[in-house]
Amino acid sequence: MKAELFKALGHPARVRVLEVLTGGEHAVSDLQPLVGIESSHLSQQLGVLRRAGLVTNRKEGSSVIYTLSDPLVADVLEVAKQLLRARLEGTRDLLSDLTPGARAS
């Protein structure tokens, strides 16, 4: 199950959709310009997220509204962001150590 979760998180467009939805629910028509992909591609990505249980949707008039299925989804994204920041800081420090004259050892 964990592998399926991470597989669902394994596409930049899906991660972007989830990041947008951390700010609250959105209609598909509002998501498209925020995510920056074609409508048909967005629909496919939303389907993957829905099947993975990461988002839910409801019909409101002619609009389909998406929301995160659980606040823990936002927590997973935040932890991933923290992990990546720590890795980038480590890389920056390593590069700084390798740059002549950047630091006195």
Which tens digit of pLDDT belongs to each residue from 41-100? 999 999 999 999 999 999 999 999 999 999 999 999 999 999 998 888 877 777 777 777
Q: Which residues pair with 50 in a beta bridge?
A: none
Contact by Cβ (8 Å): 25, 66: yes
In a domain, 58, yes or no: yes
Tokens 């669902």 locate to 8
Asked whether residue 105 is assigned to any structural domain, the reply reads: no
Alpha carbon distance 14, 16 (integer Å)? 5
- Residue 52 · residue 8 · CB < 8 Å: yes
The answer to whether residue 104 is domain-embedded is no
Task: Measure the CA–CA gap between 8 and 93, rounded to whole angstroms.
Answer: 32
Looking at the structure of the chain, the number of domains it has is 1
CATH of the domain at 62: 1.10.10.10
Tens-place pLDDT, residues 14-43 = 999 999 999 999 999 999 999 999 999 999
Q: CA-CA distance, 83 to 23, in Å (whole number)?
A: 21
